[in-house]
Amino acid sequence: MAQIPSLLLSTAAAIIVTRVSDNGDIAHDVRNQLLASPSVLYTATGIMFVLAVVPGMPHLPFLLFSALLGFTGWRMSKRPQAAEAEEKSLETLTRTITETSEQQISWETIPLIEPISLSLGYKLVALVDKAQGNPLTQRIRGVRQVLSDGNGVLLPEIRIRENFRLKPSQYAIFINGIKADEADIPADKLMALPSSETYGEIDGVLGKRPGVRDAGDLDPACAESEGAEYGVSGDRQRQRDCYPCK
């Protein structure tokens, strides 16, 4: 028992001598070395247990210290399994990345942004249906031709596509990919246009044609004959050529 202080003093002196060339913290170094491997703690557990059963030694403190070291070593033995699993996962990911063929970037992979484009709700897709004569496509082609002839510059082609993000009867105009304007077109109504011979009023929704900003009524499709009796012109072709209620 009297030799234990001398043993501890010799151990401390040996630790200090062996780390003279190291500038790190001694407490940090001792902790890392003692906890570097569970086998070190298991060895210390065995030594503490042997000292606990030696006659004349304080049994309870050595047994408690032995149990604490054994539990710490058991917990440390579980950590390498998780570390190994994480390392294997990292190796698998690294191998997958290195083995994957390099993807070449070309102009085809970059989305094309049209100078002018028109998006339609699903109820307005009939305006560009070939079976119904492409009324909207023909009108846009004619306007593009007139503006190109008048300005002496060929206007870019206008792309028309369906957009499910819009309302069923909504359309949107995009310039260089940025929304410039949008409006609703009641697909089940006709645009009644007043003339010099118009008399009376039709029960309809007041609207304006965006092109010329003159007034007109959006009537139900069944009121076409009624509009003719009041001297106004209204046909589905005109309403479908983007004369929305605004």
- Within 8 A by CB and 6+ apart from 51, the residues are 57, 62
b/e 101-124 (16+ beta carbons within 10 angstroms → b): eeeeeeeeeeeeeeebbbbbbebb
Percent of the chain clearing pLDDT 90 (strictly above): 4
Q: Is the pLDDT of residue 140 over 80?
A: yes
- Say if 103 falls within a structural domain: no
Report the alpha-carbon distance of residue 204 to residue 106 in Å, rounded: 53
Query: Residue 234: what pLDDT?
Result: 47
pLDDT of 75 above 70: yes
Residues 175 and 206 in one domain: no
The confidence band for 13, taking pLDDT boundaries of 50, 70 and 90, is: confident
Average pLDDT on 94-117 reads 71
Q: Residue 210 sits in a domain of what CATH number?
A: 3.40.30.60
The last residue of one of the domains, among 136, 168, 183, is 183
pLDDT band of 137, cuts 50, 70, 90: confident
Domain that holds residue 239: 185-246
**Model confidence over 24-61: pLDDT tens digits?**
676 777 676 666 677 778 888 888 888 888 888 788 88
Task: State residue 174's pLDDT score.
Answer: 92
Together in a domain, 190 and 178? no
pLDDT at 200: 59
Indicate the residue among 53, 78, 103 that finishes a domain. 78
Q: Has residue 98 been placed in a domain?
A: no
Helix 4-18 vs helix 26-34: angle between axes, to the nearest 10 degrees? 110
Once rounded to an integer, what is the mean pLDDT over residues 240-245? Answer: 37
Residue 191 lies in a domain: yes
pTM of the model: 0.42
Radius of gyration for the chain, computed over Cα atoms and rounded to the nearest angstrom:
43
